[in-house]
Chain A
């Protein structure tokens, strides 16, 4: 039934979208190419392919230390952000209350804020309070930006949550805690899971907030930045590629988990309709 004009327009849209995707991945592909050469300096086309720099980078103790610090920060951020953001999301989308529309806007403010300035403001604030910068202050700094993002991500799930489910459980004599554990948490789980995934990945890749608030505990993005302004180091493309592949893998796993959860959710008869 489609006219030739329509088919043409669809093809153009597809071509445009694919072109934009190619544009988005040009730097990533360049990193991958640069990491798989054994020469000291990057030259394209590549003369000597090899994975020597991968081995050297992975053998480095310093890199292990960076991974540990980044992982520690990201895990702490994920746990704290998800707990606070879950309640934040319920206030955002589940309850009708007087201050809600103001609250919804306040929560967005840190997302709409230049992160470099936020990082420096936190540095100044910690300093005024007499804290020494360390990975703990970095966790706090990441949370300022990640709790709002996480609240938004979970809210999207909360919007499709039917409050009648909770009320029915109350009517059947469940306690507040039972309702939360047996009804609210399981129904919202896909949203909570995506929130956690976002929190982890955003903390893992964050540079501007880490830069001023980690003190002596360096994270991976900070180390990479220090190396890349110091001139060409083959370790940078390797770690950049690892970081990209890691994020992709984690996202893929997360995506599969969410698909499975959603399937199971819709398979239950008491959901939605």
Chain B
């Protein structure tokens, strides 16, 4: 028999694939961030000039925008999704599956197509303004191409990524514990604060993490809905790789983004036991 345990043997194909499809490309990006600016080969004297260029330029503004928008997205989504997650786990009963399916479907339609749908909704003479005008004769300015709409796009695109882990978390809270708390005279608010929230925390935090990380890397919302009023960091990276043809600079920006994202992911994931979240009973 082989020297590996059965578990390690079964994990081998995935691990090998991720080694050459995930780890190796990321190492290539890291390596590329150290070669001289505007060159396309790794075999040259390494330098730190790309990092110096970032700190001397305005790229940090893009970083701040991305982090800020991602944080705002997380907060808004937490408020929108908690009641829905609670309903899915406790109230909607047999309709919960149907509602879950309705929330899953948009995940399978290309993100940019759905964002384009918002353009048709908000554009002048579009679904919203056209209706207002024909019904009430009221024709306000379109809110298209504003920072607020970028945020709306992000909230919209990442909603399922908050909702599903949150629902998983909320359904982990045993009903008996809630009943016991109510029997002992706890108010609704106390049960929420002392029972629901702490026990659902693993799912909630995974939802926070997932939406935050994905939103930090968001690009299409600002480009299509925000009319490039603000430039998120992923857009800077894309520009460096494509129009500017400066791969080393793009690689250095990617490394910084990976550091931010990776730190969050590692800190949060270290604290969780995935078996208990995904359903080993």
Residue of B nearest to A99 (CB): B8
Q: How far is the CA of A92 from the CA of B273 in the complex (A)?
A: 12
B147 to chain A, nearest CB (A): 19
A121–B113 CA distance with the chains assembled, in angstroms = 24
Residues of chain A with a CB closer than 8 A to B103's CB: 21, 24
Binary interface profile of B, 221-256, with partner A (CB < 8 Å = 1, else 0)?
000100000000010011001000001001100100
> Restricting to A80-111, which residues have a CB under 8 Å from any CB of B?
83-85, 87-88, 90-101, 103-111
Per-residue contact bits, chain B 109-126, to A (CB 8 Å; 1 contact, 0 not): 111111111111101011
- Cross-chain contact B269 with A108 (CB below 8 angstroms): yes
Is A243 located at the chain interface by the 8 A CB criterion? Answer: yes
CA distance A190 to B227 in the complex (A): 44
A-B contact number at CB 8 A = 288
In the assembled complex, the Cα of A10 lies from the Cα of B261 at a distance in Å of 38
Please tell me if B101 contacts chain A, counting CB pairs below 8 Å.
yes
Contact A117 B110 (CB under 8 A): no
Cα distance A224–B115 when bound, in Å? 12
Among B10, B29, B254, B281, find the residue whose CB has the most chain A CB atoms closer than 10 A.
B10
Evaluate contact between B110 and A27: CB separation under 8 angstroms: no
Q: Which residues of chain B have C-beta atoms less than 8 A from A42's C-beta?
A: 120, 123, 125-126
Query: Which chain B residues border A114 with CB–CB below 8 Å?
Result: 213-214, 216-218, 234, 257, 261
| 8 A Cβ contacts from B1-43 to A | 5-15, 17-18, 21-22, 24-26, 28-29, 32, 40, 42
Our pick among B7, B80, B220 for the contact of A97 (Cβ within 8 Å) is B7
- What's the nearest-Cβ distance from chain B to residue A181, in Å? 16
Please measure, in the bound complex, the distance between the C-alpha atom of A95 and the C-alpha atom of B99, giving whole angstroms: 33
Would you call B209 an interface residue if the criterion is a C-beta within 8 Å of the partner chain's C-beta atoms? yes
Determine how close the nearest CB of chain B comes to the CB of A39; give it in whole angstroms. 11
CB pair A26 B7 closer than 8 Å: no
Q: Does B44 contact A (CB under 8 A)?
A: no
Q: Which of A13, A117, A143, A236 contacts B21 (CB 8 A)?
A: A143
Let me know if B118 and A26 touch, CB within 8 A: yes
Question: Do A91 and B14 have beta carbons less than 8 Å apart?
Answer: yes
Interface residues of A in 4-40 (CB under 8 A from B): 10, 13-14, 16-17, 20-21, 23-31, 33-34
Task: Pick the residue among B126, B265, B279 that contacts A109 (CB under 8 A).
Answer: B265
Query: Looking at the complex, which of A52-60, A61-69, A155-163, A167-175 is the stretch in contact with chain B?
Result: A155-163
Interface residues on B, range: 35 or more
Query: Nearest residue in B to A28 (C-beta to C-beta)?
Result: B117
Q: With A30-B118, A87-B10 as known contacts, state yes or no: A117 contacts B217, CB within 8 Å.
A: yes
Residues of A within 8 A of B84 (CB): 13, 16-17, 20
- Of the listed residues A85, A94, A212, A236, the one surrounded by the most CB atoms of chain B closer than 10 A to its CB is A236
Which of B127-135, B172-180, B190-198 participates in binding chain A?
B127-135
* CB of B209, distance to nearest CB on chain A (Å): 7
Which residues on A are within 8 Å of B, measured CB to CB?
A: 10, 13-14, 16-17, 20-21, 23-31, 33-34, 42-45, 83-85, 87-88, 90-101, 103-118, 120-125, 127-128, 140-141, 143-144, 147-148, 151-152, 155-156, 159-160, 201-202, 204-208, 212, 220-221, 224-225, 228-229, 236-237, 239-240, 243-244, 247-248, 251, 255
Q: List 22 A-B contacts (CB under 8 A).
A: A10-B91, A25-B106, A27-B121, A43-B125, A87-B11, A94-B7, A98-B5, A103-B7, A109-B22, A113-B22, A114-B216, A124-B251, A127-B40, A159-B281, A224-B110, A228-B224, A236-B113, A236-B116, A239-B113, A240-B114, A240-B117, A244-B113
Enumerate chain B interface residues (CB-CB to A < 8 A): 5-15, 17-18, 21-22, 24-26, 28-29, 32, 40, 42, 80, 83-84, 86-88, 91-92, 99, 101-121, 123, 125-127, 129-131, 134, 156, 159, 209-210, 213-214, 216-220, 224, 234, 237-238, 241, 247, 250-251, 254, 257-258, 261, 265, 269, 273-275, 278-281
16 further A-B contacts with Cβ under 8 Å, apart from A30-B120, A91-B10, A207-B112, are A17-B88, A23-B156, A27-B156, A44-B126, A44-B130, A103-B11, A104-B274, A112-B209, A113-B217, A114-B234, A117-B217, A124-B251, A144-B22, A206-B110, A221-B110, A224-B113
